[in-house]
Homo-oligomer: A and B are copies of this chain.
Amino acid sequence: MAAPTRADRGGSQTLKALLGIRELVFSGAIGPGERLSEVILSHRLSLSRTPIRAALAQLEQEGVLETIPSGGYTVRGFTQADVADAIELRGVLEGTAARFAAERGVAPVRLQAMHALLAEIDTIVAEPQEMDFSAYIDRNGEFHELLHTLSGSDTLRRELARVMKLPFALPNAFVTAQAQMPEIRASLVVAQAQHRAIVDAIELREGGRAEALAREHARLARNNLDVVIEDRNLMTKVPGLALIST
């Protein structure tokens, strides 16, 4: 039983506030530009103002909220360009992670773990009829997380963790939408080919190639964004994309 330790950063209240407010924002219940009142939120979430304040401050750091010069916070409005930039930024950072891994080398044990993941994703993607998207999302997330670790740079890993606080910048952001698109399989097959190429480049210590590949890999998500934007119905399927305003 996961004994609720203080490590949860407010084992209860502050974490509740964080998750609660995030939910309110990304579900669109509050809407871009709208002001977040501490007292109203504290009533709505049945918490005191203190954990609410802590959560608001953190969400501002995450880029979800903006400070009002006179005090307080509003929901940040994202443009399509903002989302595209966030995705490309992830690509740049993951490219750097891949390059670091290639240049600095990685322990054989970890490469083995990488290959194990690749094999699992292979079988998932190769599924003839119905793909297990849930499994794909899990393994794909693990792949990227491991890649970040392989960089060997904590500073870089932190920064990547930060950028991926924005849900639409996540590697898995568009997978659920892809599940409803006709060319799904092909798209994921391409993604997996890129996964393999990235690992290959890392093993061969080809830093430049590893970086370029990881960037291109993120561009897949970038392309999907353009497709999804066209289809308002699909947009609701991508987490956090409801925040896009103009």
Contacts and interface: CB of A to CB of B under 8 A. Distances in A.
Interface stretch (A85-93, A113-121, A184-192): A85-93
B5 A63 contact: no
A86 B162 contact: no
A185 to B, nearest CB: 31
A95 to B, nearest CB: 8
A89 to B, nearest CB: 6
Contacts of A163: 159
A89 B158 CA distance: 11
A108 interface: no
Interface stretch (A39-47, A67-75, A235-243): A67-75
A70 B10 CA distance: 10
B92 A153 contact: no
Interface stretch (A25-33, A54-62, A174-182): A54-62
* Chain A binding surface, main DSSP class: helix
Contact of A85 (B54, B89, B153): B153
A61 B9 CA distance: 13
A81 B155 CA distance: 10
Contacts of A82: 154-155
Nearest to A61: B61
A5 B70 contact: yes
A85 B155 contact: yes
Contact of A58 (B7, B61, B153): B61
The interface centre, meaning the residue of A63, A71, A85 with most chain B CB atoms within 10 A of its CB, is A85
A92 B89 contact: no
A157 to B, nearest CB: 10
Contacts of A71: 6-7
Contacts of A93: 92
Contacts of A9: 67
Given A7-B69, A70-B5, A70-B7, A156 B85 contact: yes
Nearest to A87: B155
Contact of A159 (B81, B156, B159): B159
27 contacts: A5-B70, A6-B70, A7-B67, A7-B70, A7-B71, A9-B67, A57-B57, A58-B61, A61-B61, A63-B155, A81-B153, A82-B154, A85-B153, A85-B154, A85-B155, A85-B156, A88-B96, A89-B96, A89-B153, A89-B155, A89-B156, A89-B159, A92-B96, A159-B159, A159-B162, A159-B163, A162-B162
